[in-house]
Structure 1
Amino acid sequence: MKILIINPNSSLDMTDVIQKSAENFANGEYEVMTLPTEGAPKFIDTYQDQSLAAPGMLEIVKKYRDEVDAFIVACHCDPNLDLLKEITSKPVVGIGEASMKLASMLGHRFSVISTSQHSVPNKQALIRKYHLEGCLASVRYPRKEFEGCNCNEEQIYLETSKDAIREDMAEVIVLGCAGLAGLDKRIQEIVKVPVLDSVVCALIIASGLVKANYSISKIRRYALN
Structure 2
Amino acid sequence: MATTGPVSQAVLSFATRLCVEDATLDRIKALQKAADRLGESIDQRFAAVDCERLEVEIRQYQLIFRPDQQAVIRNLRAEAMKAMTFLSDFSPRLVGSVLTGTADRQSKVTLHLFADTPESVMTFLLAKSIPFTESERRYHYRNGRQTRVPVLSFVAFDVPFDLVVFGLDDIKEAPVANSRGGLMTRASVTKVASLLSPSG
Structure 2-normalised TM-score? Answer: 0.27
Structure 1-normalised TM-score? Answer: 0.25
Q: Which has the higher contact order (CA 8 A, sep 6+)?
A: 1
Q: Which structure: larger Rg?
A: 2
